[in-house]
C-alpha cells in the first residue's frame, strides 16, 4: 500500500481510495472501499467485491458496444445499497490487450468477426487477463473470503486457484441494447458468461 485517502463519490460519501504498488511494476493499481467494515479491515468480515477491468470506452464514454460501464455502475449501486464493498479497478484494457489493440479488434468486428475471433486474429487469447494482483490486494487488506460480483466463471475459477474463498456470486443482469447484443451473446455462448 502506497497511500490512501477519503474519496467521496457521487453514489456515496463513505468511500476511500487506496493506491498499491505491485512488484515494482510501473502500473498503478487501486481500489475503492465503501463502508466502515471495509475501511476498518474488520477481521472475519467478507466484503462484496467487484474486480473490474479498465474500459475507457465503456466506463468513461458509456460506449454502447459493451456492457462494462453498466457493470461498473450496477456494482457500485449494490455496494452502496449493502453499505459495504470493495471495487478493484485493474489496468487491463480490452481484456488486457490494450486500448490500441481493442480498437483494432473493434475494426475487425465491423468487418464481421465476433470479439473472440477478433482477439484471436490479432494473435491474442480470447482473454489475456490475470487476477493475481487483485488477490494480493485483497489479502493485503486481510480479506480472504469474499462475495464476488461477476458473471464470469473463469474469473471465479482463477480467484479460487489463487487462494481466495468465494462465498457467494452476485450476478449482474444487463439488458442488451441493439448494438451490444451480439457482444453479450458471444460472452454467453463462447466465453461461458452467465447472465441469468
- Which residues are the active-site residues? 127, 129
Phi-psi label, residue 24: left if phi above 0, alpha if psi -120 to 50, beta otherwise: left
Q: What's the CA gap between 85 and 2, in Å, rounded? A: 20
CA 169-174-177 angle, to 5 degrees, is: 160
Pairing, β 85-90 against β 145-149: unpaired
Phi-psi label, residue 50: left if phi above 0, alpha if psi -120 to 50, beta otherwise: beta
Cβ atoms of 34 and 80 closer than 8 Å: yes
161 phi, psi to nearest 5 deg: -65, -30
Amino acid at each position: 500500500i502506497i497511500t490512501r485517502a477519503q474519496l467521496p463519490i457521487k453514489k456515496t460519501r463513505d468511500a476511500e481510495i487506496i493506491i498499491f504498488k505491485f512488484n515494482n511494476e510501473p502500473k498503478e493499481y487501486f481500489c475503492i472501499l465503501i463502508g466502515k467494515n471495509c475501511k476498518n479491515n474488520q477481521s472475519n468480515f467478507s466484503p462484496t467485491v467487484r474486480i473490474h477491468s479498465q474500459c475507457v470506452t465503456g466506463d468513461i464514454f458509456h460506449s454502447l458496444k459493451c456492457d462494462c460501464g453498466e457493470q461498473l455502475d450496477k456494482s457500485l449501486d449494490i455496494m452502496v445499497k449493502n453499505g459495504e464493498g470493495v471495487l478493484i479497478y485493474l489496468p487491463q484494457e480490452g481484456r488486457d490487450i490494450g486500448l490500441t489493440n481493442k480498437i483494432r479488434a473493434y475494426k475487425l468486428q465491423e468487418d464481421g468477426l465476433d470479439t473472440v475471433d477478433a482477439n484471436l486474429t490479432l494473435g491474442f487469447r480470447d482473454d489475456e487477463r490475470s487476477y493475481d494482483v487483485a488477490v494480493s490486494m485483497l489479502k493485503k487488506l486481510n480479506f480472504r473470503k469474499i462475495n464476488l460480483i461477476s458473471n464470469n466463471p473463469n474469473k471465479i475459477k482463477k480467484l479460487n486457484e489463487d487462494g481466495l474463498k468465494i462465498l457467494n456470486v452476485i450476478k449482474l443482469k444487463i439488458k442488451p441494447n441493439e448494438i451490444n447484443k451480439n457482444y453479450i451473446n458471444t460472452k454467453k455462448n463462447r466465453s461461458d458468461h452467465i447472465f441469468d
